[in-house]
């Protein structure tokens, strides 16, 4: 069943890319920005690498790079993955825990089934969805919180950054409630309003807090990742 679902997902994604590209190329006047996006996407080494290695998204290489340096993911862990769809990070986590661990993924968007992953589709900001997530994790039993959540971007920093940081703060609050002593979190954050305050708060709770910008993050993007290790209750 997994192979079928994965094949369907990959086929849909590939067809969608082709159709969107044809529409942009032939169905409407092309702006400089659309030309640049198309060229960047199809020339992207991480897109090509993800397709070749069977990952669902290029974003997996952000987590992979950080994990190779920090050794975050180990067998036996309880891990939550927020903003999980289409499932690239969850795929990598499954590989790392090697069948020994609890993995819960959540996203507003649908995600194809992954063996070993409990998936919740819903809005993390809604109480009933949050409760579903909490019910799958022992209180203070979380080893690692991963969050790649981001809002739909409008292109306006004044609008986008506060919305993105709000999601980051929600993820942090969840981790602050559920992490066990010594636990860790990796959260996507954006430079702008709220950035310094969140870093300051994290340093009050964790032994080590650093900012990482993986190679797979696009250079023009304001996204970075806050890595916090050694949680103190």
**Percentage of residues in the chain with pLDDT exceeding 70?**
82
* Any domain includes 205: yes
The reply to whether 127 and 222 lie within a common domain is yes
Mean pLDDT lowest for which of 29-33, 58-62, 98-102, 132-136? 29-33
Answer yes or no: are the C-beta atoms of 119 and 185 closer than 8 Å: no
For residues 80 and 9, state if they share a domain.
Answer: no
Average pLDDT, the chain: 87
Instruction: Kindly state the DSSP code that residue 192 receives in the 8-state scheme.
Output: S
Given the residues 62, 64, 96, 188, select the one marked as catalytic.
188
CA distances from 51 to 14, 41, 61, 84, 118 (A): 10, 13, 12, 18, 24
Both 154 and 214 in a single domain? Answer: yes
Degrees, nearest 5: CA angle 195-110-188: 15
> In terms of pLDDT, which residue wins out, 88 or 192?
88
Element (H, E) at 81: strand 78-82
How far, CA to CA in Å, does 131 sit from each of 104, 114, 135?
A: 13, 22, 6
The pLDDT value recorded for residue 31 is: 55
Please choose, from the candidates 143, 216, 215, 224, the residue with its C-alpha nearest in 3D space to the C-alpha of residue 185: 143
Contact at 8 Å (CB) between 112 and 124? Answer: no
* pLDDT for position 35: 58
Regarding whether 74 and 17 lie in a shared domain, the answer is: no
pLDDT, tens digit (0-9, with 9 covering 90-100), for 109-156: 999 999 999 999 999 999 999 999 999 999 899 999 999 999 998 889
Residue 50 lies in a domain: no
Same domain, yes or no: 112 and 79: yes
Q: Do 21 and 64 lie in a common domain?
A: no
Residue 211 main-chain phi, psi, to 5 deg = -110, 130
pLDDT > 90? residue 17: no
Q: Same domain, yes or no, for 39 and 119?
A: no
Reported as a single tens digit per residue, the pLDDT across 30-45 is: 555 555 555 555 579 9
pLDDT in tens, 185-209: 999 999 999 999 999 999 999 999 9
For position 131, which CATH number holds?
A: 3.40.50.150
Residue 148 assigned as binding residue: yes
77 and 31 fall within a common domain = no
Confirm if 51 and 88 have CB atoms less than 8 A apart. Answer: no
Torsion, Cα 3 1 61 178, to 10 degrees, reads -170
Question: Which pLDDT score, from 0 to 100, does residue 76 have?
Answer: 97
pLDDT for the residue 38: 56
Query: Catalytic: 69?
Result: no
Q: Are residues 31 and 134 in the same domain?
A: no
Quickly count: other Cβ atoms within 10 Å of residue 20's Cβ.
13
Q: Are residues 27 and 64 in the same domain?
A: no
Please check whether residue 53 lies inside any domain of the structure. Answer: no
52 belongs to a structural domain: no
Question: pLDDT-based confidence at 93, cuts 50/70/90?
Answer: very high
How does pLDDT run across 160-184, given as a tens digit for each residue?
Answer: 999 999 999 999 999 999 999 999 9
- In the predicted model, is pLDDT for residue 89 greater than 80? yes
Q: Are residues 209 and 125 in the same domain?
A: yes
Q: Is residue 54 part of a domain?
A: no
The answer on 124 and 214 residing in a single domain is: yes
Report pLDDT for 12: 42
- Any domain includes 108: yes
In which domain, by residue range, is 212 found? 60-231
What's the total number of domains in the chain? 2
87 is in an annotated binding site: yes
Cβ contacts of residue 51 below 8 Å, gap of 6+?
none
* pTM, full prediction: 0.82
Residue 4: cis peptide before it, omega within 30 degrees of 0: no
Q: Chain-centre distance of CA 57, in angstroms?
A: 10
**Where does the pLDDT of residue 221 fall: very low under 50, low under 70, confident under 90, or very high at 90 and above?**
confident
The answer to whether the annotation marks 37 as part of a ligand binding site is no
């Amino acid at each position: 069943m997994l192979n079928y679902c994965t094949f369907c997902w990959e086929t849909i994604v590939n067809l969608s890319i082709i159709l969107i590209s044809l529409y942009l190329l032939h169905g409407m006047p092309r702006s400089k920005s659309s030309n640049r996006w198309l060229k960047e996407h199809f020339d992207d080494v991480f897109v090509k690498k993800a397709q070749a290695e069977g990952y669902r998204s290029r974003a997996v290489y952000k987590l992979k790079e950080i994990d190779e340096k920090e050794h975050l993911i180990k067998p036996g862990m309880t891990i939550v993955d927020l903003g999980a769809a289409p499932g690239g990070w969850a795929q990598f986590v499954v590989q790392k825990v090697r069948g020994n661990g609890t993995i819960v993924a959540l996203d507003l968007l649908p995600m194809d089934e992954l063996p070993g992953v409990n998936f919740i589709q819903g809005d993390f900001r809604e109480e009933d969805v949050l409760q579903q997530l909490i019910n799958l994790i022992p209180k203070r039993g979380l080893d690692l919180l991963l969050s790649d959540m981001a809002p739909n971007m409008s292109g306006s920093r004044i609008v986008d950054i506060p919305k993105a940081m709000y999601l980051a703060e929600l993820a942090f609050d969840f981790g602050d409630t559920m992490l066990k002593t010594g636990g860790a979190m990796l959260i996507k954050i954006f430079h702008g309003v709220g950035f310094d305050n969140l870093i300051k708060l994290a340093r009050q709770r964790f032994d080590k807090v650093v900012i990482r910008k993986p190679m797979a993050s696009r250079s023009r993007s304001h996204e970075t990742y806050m890595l916090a290790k050694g949680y103190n209750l």
